[in-house]
Amino acid sequence: MDKPLTRNIKPDGSAATLAEYRAKGGYEGLKKVLAELAPLEVQQQVKDSGLRGRGGAGFPTGAKWSFVPMGEDAPKTKYLVVNGDEMEPGAFKDRLLLEGDPHQLIEGVLIAAYAIQANIAYIFLRGEYRVAAERLRRAIAEATEKNLLGANILGSGFSLDLRLHTSAGRYICGEETALLNSLEGKRANPRAKPPFPQVSGLFGKPTIVNNVETLCNLPHILRNGVDWYKRLSRTGEPGTKIYGVSGRVKRPGAWELPMGTTGREIIEEHAGGMRDGYRLKGYMPGGASTDFLLPEHLDIPMDYGSIGKAGSRLGTGTMILLDDKTCPVQMVLNLEQFFAQESCGWCTPCRDGLPWTVSLLEGLIAGRGRPEDIETLQRLCGLLGPGNTFCALAPGAMEPLQSALKYFRADFERYLQPKKVSGGAYA
């Protein structure tokens, strides 16, 4: 089983039923956990597996769980929250799992909740994911009917109340404390840390927030073991990864592949290569908030460490391609407009700096740019960078801009002579 996450995904796009999921070993990982392992033993197995969060940050999952208070003196109420908001431009991997195999997520939720002894779990779902919501509700009802959810699950004494929450939708909810504020019915602003959610999160109780793809790994790790999970990878970072490609390729989409698969293999073999008449100019390896890389980086393994050393981030693993007939300046403007719109406005650099960035780019493209505007854009990359804002939204927004200025500066400078550029493509 080299593609555990997508083994139940059907070509016709329909969802796997409970019967179909169980026929292929579904909920066996949960049964093993409830019958054989204590919560801390589950945490240790996930630590040993090396599973890293698949939502973008790549933080070790087991280590994150270990910060939750455990034992007799721990709070009796704890929460597990699934981040299914997936508002990052170019990201669609979680949608594949939510729509195609909802029971896999539910089993992952149950294992994670047992590991931290949470008794209530929420799936925080992007509001536009209506098909996913319908299928999750059906799967939750199926699981509840068979005593896989609810009170005294499978006679184990462990109980879990799982609730689906459809979000009003803001990109800032990708920041876990903003998500928790939204879930509480408040404005989706990030919280000051400390305290961290593992100690004081949802409604002031210990809370873990995990991504959809992260949780979907758990049933397979607990069922098949740590060594099996590590063997799935091509590098030292274990497991598989759902990689995606959007842009002018012949077959855009998402595929589950060994962690460490190269960008070249993903683009040329799985996405079918560039469309006829187009050439790859650059790509963002992990979605819209990651730095551009160049074709010369295509043979680098797509894992967290290798992409980091190349000057970008793996992020969601869903690549956005820049072709030679698309203007990188206009592509960056499109992204910055999105980030400026999605800023919660909580801190000044993000609230004012992102609209300023947009204004400078718009002026440059309209032919009103000055050489010093490009230098101002360069300075903004630092002013809105890590450590200068309340959360990671603005630093992420600066990554495509700072790398575009690094690799495609001549394209910015050409707009100082506007007659040479037209309509998003080179004249």
Query: Residue 426: pLDDT band by 50, 70, 90 thresholds?
Result: very low
Helix ranges restricted to H, 252-370? 263-265, 304-309, 328-342, 348-365
In the listed set 180, 204, 231, which residue is the last one of a domain according to the structure? Answer: 231
In eight-state DSSP terms, residue 175 is S
Residue 12 lies in a domain: no
Same domain, 107 and 194: yes
Give the model's pLDDT for residue 424: 52
Same domain, 34 and 113: yes
CA distance 224 to 226: 7
Give the model's pLDDT for residue 169: 75
Give the model's pLDDT for residue 286: 95
**What CATH number corresponds to the domain at position 260?**
3.10.20.600
Q: What is the dihedral of CA 131, 137, 141, 143, to 10 degrees?
A: 80
In the listed set 167, 199, 231, which residue is the last one of a domain according to the structure? Answer: 231
Q: Which of 407, 363, 357 is nearest to 380 (CA)?
A: 357
- 235-263 pLDDT, tens digit each: 999 999 999 999 999 999 999 999 999 99
Same domain, 282 and 315: yes
- Mean pLDDT within 88-101: 95
Same domain, 114 and 40: yes
CA distances from 53 to 50, 255, 327, 397, 411 (A): 10, 18, 33, 21, 36
CA distance 5 to 220: 8
Same domain, 130 and 264: no
Same domain, 189 and 69: yes
In the listed set 323, 350, 377, which residue is the last one of a domain according to the structure? Answer: 323
Same domain, 33 and 179: yes
Same domain, 47 and 185: yes
Q: Could you list the residue range(s) of the whole structural domain that residue 421 is in?
A: 328-426
Residue 211 phi, psi (nearest 5): -75, 155
- 353-407 pLDDT, tens digit each: 999 999 999 999 999 999 999 999 999 999 999 999 999 999 999 999 999 999 9
CA distance 350 to 385: 10
Same domain, 34 and 176: yes
Residue 13 lies in a domain: no
Q: How many CB atoms lie within 10 A of CB 363?
A: 14
Q: Provide the domain count of the chain.
A: 3
CA distance 254 to 273: 14
Q: How many residues does the chain have?
A: 427
CA distance 303 to 238: 9
